[in-house]
Amino acid sequence: MRARRPFLLNALLAAALLASGGAGAARDKKKDKDGNAHHFAIVGHRAAIDGEDGLKGALDDVKDEDLAFAVVTGIKGANEACGDRVYQKRRDLFDKARRPVILSLSGNDWTGCRNSAGRTNAIERLNRLRELFYGEPESLGKDKIPMTRLSSSPRFRSYAENAHWRVGKVLYATINLPAANNHYLPAAGRNSEFEDRAVANRFWLNRLFAIAKQDKVSAVVLFGEGNMQPLLQPANGLRALLQRSPTGYDGFADTRRQVQMRAAKFPGQVLVVDSAGLPKEAKPAIEWHGNVGHLSVGAHAVEVRVAEDGKNVFSLGPVR
């Protein structure tokens, strides 16, 4: 018996180490899922390239049970119909997703839609999308997360697509910024939709940063389709005098200025994510200017890891 005792002790010690290792892994897994450290996915505009097949493939890519959520840009391509049949099929597709899904609208979903007479029916289609995809105070998908919508404010009941939610110490939010110059139309007298949405978005950003300050979050993440160029610095002094006159109205200018001003007073990081196209062979990457970061994902699916705290909260994981 004495000869076997060291063997038994070693076996018990190994078992204890394995058990503690397994418990540690379980704690780390739970922490990544429920605590401050976590990861999420961004699916760029797959539907613009491959329609429904692109969305199905993207949702298959983001079925990891430890994923906090996935933000998906757009439900259809520019050449697909704007009818309820397409909208409902895409809603059914999102409902089957294993992870919580948040839809970030694209311009293809509504801005280019026309009726049988060839006239624009963008506003009617946008309102229909709001009914189908944003009627509940929660995400899409089988596993849902609670969300607060701008439509909860009596003044902005129409703007249900703007929503915010929180995971750990990070405040996440969507904002309706379609890619084609934020749906600003050059013809005079045709921008009532743009102007009304600009007022709603301005109120929304003010509210988000007020919540961020009140709750003392470490970071704010904004998801939209169009590239507002959040790192673009305004010209001043001699540079402004030498700058050429602009060739057209910048539909993102007001939103960009507001984000920059709010970020300047915010002690944490602000990450702006869009689905703007990337140069050929380029991969998504986060670029920083001060505490403002910018990430364009194009049609890629990207995983973003969020640290518990520290100076660099965000880092990119796998890119598909």
Give the distance from CA 199 to its chain's centroid. Answer: 21
Backbone phi, psi, residue 20, to 5° = -65, -35
HSE toward the beta carbon, residue 111, CA cutoff 13 A: 21
DSSP one-letter string for 171-202? EEEE----TTGGG--SSTT--HHHHHHHHHHH
Cα(110)–Cα(90) distance, rounded to whole angstroms? 14
The residues that bridge with 306 in the sheet, in sequence order, are 38, 314
Rounded alpha-carbon distances, angstroms, from residue 314 to 61, 169, 274, 306, 317: 20, 12, 15, 5, 10
Assign 81 to helix, strand or coil: coil
- CA torsion, points 318, 44, 233, 197, in degrees to nearest 10? -150
* pLDDT tens track, the chain, 320 positions: 444 444 334 443 344 433 434 433 333 444 444 458 999 999 998 888 888 888 888 888 787 888 999 999 999 999 999 999 999 999 999 999 999 999 999 999 999 999 988 899 999 999 999 999 999 999 999 999 999 999 999 999 999 999 999 999 999 999 999 999 999 998 777 899 999 999 999 999 999 999 999 999 999 999 999 999 999 998 665 554 555 545 689 999 999 999 999 999 999 999 999 999 999 889 999 999 999 999 999 999 999 999 977 668 999 998 88
The amino acid sitting at 146 is P
The amino acid sitting at 271 is L
Q: Which of 288, 314, 289, 283 is nearest to 301 (CA)?
A: 283
